[in-house]
Structure 1
Amino acid sequence: MKALLSIDYTVDFVADEGRLTTGKAGQAIEKRLVDQTRAFIEARDYVVFAIDRHDAGDHYHPESRLFPPHNLAGTSGRELYGTLAPLYQENQTSEHVYWIDKRHYSAFSGTDLDIRLRERGITELYLTGVCTDICILHTAVDAYNLGYQLVIDAGAVASFDAIGHEWALRHFEQTLGAKIIAKED
């Protein structure tokens, strides 16, 4: 069984005016990411939207020392970006679609993600979203350590750091044993 994790594809991480945007790199993956998400939904495979959530004024969170405030609860910056938003809205009540608020880079850290995946017999995870070398990477490492098989679509992940993005793709394949789907496929 397989599941798709859609990680942090929000206004703050993708839109030109986003607080911590990947900009054009993140925008360029929209069609592929949405098409892949739609295919999983139509196949009735499990789709998890793992979305960063921070509170305004939380100066204790370690990210507050590294990045500007982003994905703040109750702001438009935390909304899903582009055509992914209506796709989620149309399917949010499906038993095959789940939303996780996450506070850390990894979708597994402090969430019930592993329990939900195991309840459904899921062993293979497709990771999409942003940022390849931060939240996708940390989620992939945790997934690997928990025994999941990984598939990363290079055309459905992006970062604001091109060097970090390429390094992470190599790391997924060479160190975590992930299957990488080439951008051209």
Structure 2
Amino acid sequence: MKAFIVIDYTVDFVIGKLPCGDPAVAIEARICKLANRFLAHQDFVVMAVDLHEEGDPFHPETALFPPHNIRDTEGRELFGELKEVHEAHRSDIYWMDKTRYSAFCGTDLELQLRARGIQELHLVGVCTDICVLHTAVDAYNKGFSLIIHEDAVASFDAVGHDWALRHFTSTLGAKVVRDWKN
């Protein structure tokens, strides 16, 4: 069994309050195709979704970014067709709120993976050089094998995106793949 982790592919991060814009829109079909493929193989599919409280002065991102992914707002909804994939497979997808860049920080993700005996993680979503990167670093430090789908990650920072893709392979030993088929 593998884990397919979709990181922060929400309205706010694609076209909303803190958008990656066109690069994020361009990966929508690929993320959905991969999600459906992993679901068909009965792998562990996770939606790791950023969660913020309105006006939270104590969250470290408050000083860094405009308000985004606020609880109970449209901006926190999954973007586009991925929302439909989630609705169609709600009982087969693990929804996980996260409040930091890494999907491991302050969540039960590692427990869920270990309980299923999962060692191989497939990461997609946004932003390549922020939340995907921090999740990958934590996964590496916890001993997981990583596959990053280059055609299913995006950032608002092209230089950071390219740097992160190199970092995944050169420093974390991850496989960066395109057009992957399992």
Please say whether Structure 1 and Structure 2 have the same fold, judged by a TM-score greater than 0.5.
Answer: yes
Asked whether the equivalents of residues 149 and 180 of structure 2 are also in contact (C-alpha less than 8 Å), the reply is no
Give deviations 1:153-172, integer Å, cap 9, x for gaps. Answer: 10000000000000000000
Alignment of 1:31-180 (within 5 A): 31-94=29-92, 97-180=93-176
Give the superposed CA RMSD: 1.2
**3-state SS of paired residue (2:47):** strand
Displacement, 1:2?
Answer: 1.0
Equivalent residue number for residue 4 of structure 1? 4
> 1: distance between equivalents of 2:132 and 2:179?
16
Task: Structure 1: give runs of 5+ residues left out of the alignment.
Answer: none
Q: How many residues are aligned here? A: 181
> 2: distance between equivalents of 1:80 and 1:150?
23
> 1: distance between equivalents of 2:72 and 2:31?
24
> 1: distance between equivalents of 2:21 and 2:147?
24
Displacement, 1:182?
Answer: 3.0
Letter of the aligned partner of 2:23 in structure 1? A
> 1: distance between equivalents of 2:114 and 2:20?
32
Asked whether the equivalents of residues 102 and 109 of structure 1 are also in contact (C-alpha less than 8 Å), the reply is yes
Asked whether the equivalents of residues 149 and 176 of structure 2 are also in contact (C-alpha less than 8 Å), the reply is yes
Asked whether the equivalents of residues 77 and 83 of structure 2 are also in contact (C-alpha less than 8 Å), the reply is yes
**3-state SS of paired residue (1:36):** helix
Match of 2:28 among 30, 40, 49: 30
> 2: distance between equivalents of 1:87 and 1:142?
27
Displacement, 1:93?
Answer: 1.4
CA 43–184 in structure 1, closer or farther in 2 if over 3 Å, else same: closer
Asked whether the equivalents of residues 130 and 136 of structure 1 are also in contact (C-alpha less than 8 Å), the reply is yes
Displacement, 1:184?
Answer: 9.3
Task: Structure 2: give runs of 5+ residues left out of the alignment.
Answer: none
Asked whether the equivalents of residues 46 and 96 of structure 2 are also in contact (C-alpha less than 8 Å), the reply is yes
Asked whether the equivalents of residues 155 and 184 of structure 1 are also in contact (C-alpha less than 8 Å), the reply is no
Report the TM-score, using the length of structure 2 for normalisation.
Answer: 0.97
% identity of equivalent residues: 56
Displacement, 1:183?
Answer: 6.3
